[in-house]
Amino acid sequence: MKRKFGIKTLINEYTLIVLAVFLVISFFAIHPYHPQGVYVSFTKEPASESVPSGVIVNKINDFKITNLSTYYHVLNNLPSNTVRVSYLEESIPYVYSEKVSYPFLVNLSEDPVNLGLVVIEVPETNLNFGLDIEGGTKVLLEPEERLLPEEIDNILGVLRERLNIYGLKEIPISYVQDLSGNQFFRLEFAGQSQEEVRELLEREGKFEARIGNTTVFTGEDILGVCITGVQCGLSLQPRVLRNSQGQETIYWEFSFQIDITEEAAKDFARATANLSSGECTAAGCYLNQTLDFYIDNKLLEGGSLNIGSSLRGEELTTASIQGTRPSKTEAQSEMRKMQAMLQARRMPITLNIVRAETISPSLGRAFLNNIFTVFIMAIIAVDLVIGLRYKTFRIILPIIFITLSEIFITIGVAGFIGWTLDLASIAGIIASVGTGINDQIVITDEVIRGGRKSGKYDTMKKRIKTAFFIVMACYAASVATMIPLIFASAGIIRGFAITTIIGISVGVFITRPAYARICEHILKKE
Partner 1 sequence: MKADYLDKLERIYEHDYKKLLLIPAFMIVFFLIIIGLTQASTGYPFYRDISLKGGSSITVYTSIEYNLNELITWSRSALSEDANVRILREPISGRIIGYDFEFSSIFEVEELKSIFQERFGFEMGDDVFSVGTQSPQIAGSFFFDAIIVLIFAFILETIIVLYIFRNFLPAMSIVFSTFIDLLLVVGLLDLIGFEVGLASIGAMLMLLGFSTDSDILLSTSIFKRQEGSLISRIKSALKTQLTMTIAALTAFSVMFFFSNVMIIKQIAIVLIFGILFDIMTTWILSAGLQRIYLERRK
457 touches partner 1 (CB under 8 A): yes
501 touches partner 1 (CB under 8 A): no
Compute how many other C-beta atoms are within 10 angstroms of the C-beta atom of residue 227: 20
Cα torsion 298, 299, 303, 306 to 10°: value is 140
One of 367, 401, 408, 416 touching partner 1 (CB under 8 A): 367
Taking the complex as a whole, the smallest distance from the CB of residue 87 to partner 1 amounts, in Å, to 27
Footprint of partner 1 on 384-423 (CB under 8 A): 384-386, 389, 423
* Chain CA centroid to CA 450, Å: 49
Cβ-based nearer residue to partner 1, 140 or 342: 140
One of 65, 117, 222, 497 touching partner 1 (CB under 8 A): 497
Assess contact for 347 and 187: CB atoms under 8 A: no
Taking the complex as a whole, the smallest distance from the CB of residue 518 to partner 1 amounts, in Å, to 18
Helix (H) or strand (E) holding 241: strand 235-242
502 touches partner 1 (CB under 8 A): no
Assess contact for 166 and 458: CB atoms under 8 A: no
Cβ-based nearer residue to partner 1, 281 or 370: 370
One of 45, 150, 170, 178 touching partner 1 (CB under 8 A): 178
Footprint of partner 1 on 120-159 (CB under 8 A): 135, 140, 142
The torsion angles phi and psi of 46, rounded to 5 degrees, stand at -90, -10
Taking the complex as a whole, the smallest distance from the CB of residue 464 to partner 1 amounts, in Å, to 14
One of 69, 281, 438, 454 touching partner 1 (CB under 8 A): 438
CA triple 469-470-475, angle to 5 deg: 95
Q: Residue 286 and residue 308: Cα distance in Å, rounded?
A: 4
Q: Residue 414 and residue 496: Cα distance in Å, rounded?
A: 12
Mutual orientation of helices 494-506 and 460-487 as an angle, nearest 10°? 170
One of 100, 236, 417, 473 touching partner 1 (CB under 8 A): 473
Here's the x/- map for partner 1, 318-357, by CB under 8 A: it reads as: ----------------------------------xxxxxx
508 touches partner 1 (CB under 8 A): no
Cβ-based nearer residue to partner 1, 158 or 443: 443
**What letter does residue 310 receive in the DSSP assignment?**
G
360 touches partner 1 (CB under 8 A): yes
Q: Residue 208 and residue 405: Cα distance in Å, rounded?
A: 59
Nearest to 315 by CA among 265, 376, 379, 247: 265
Cβ-based nearer residue to partner 1, 174 or 193: 193
Please choose, out of 221-229, 264-272, 412-420, 465-473, the segment that lies near partner 1 by the rule CB under 8 A.
Answer: 465-473
Q: Residue 482 and residue 485: Cα distance in Å, rounded?
A: 5
Cβ-based nearer residue to partner 1, 161 or 439: 439
* Chain CA centroid to CA 388, Å: 46
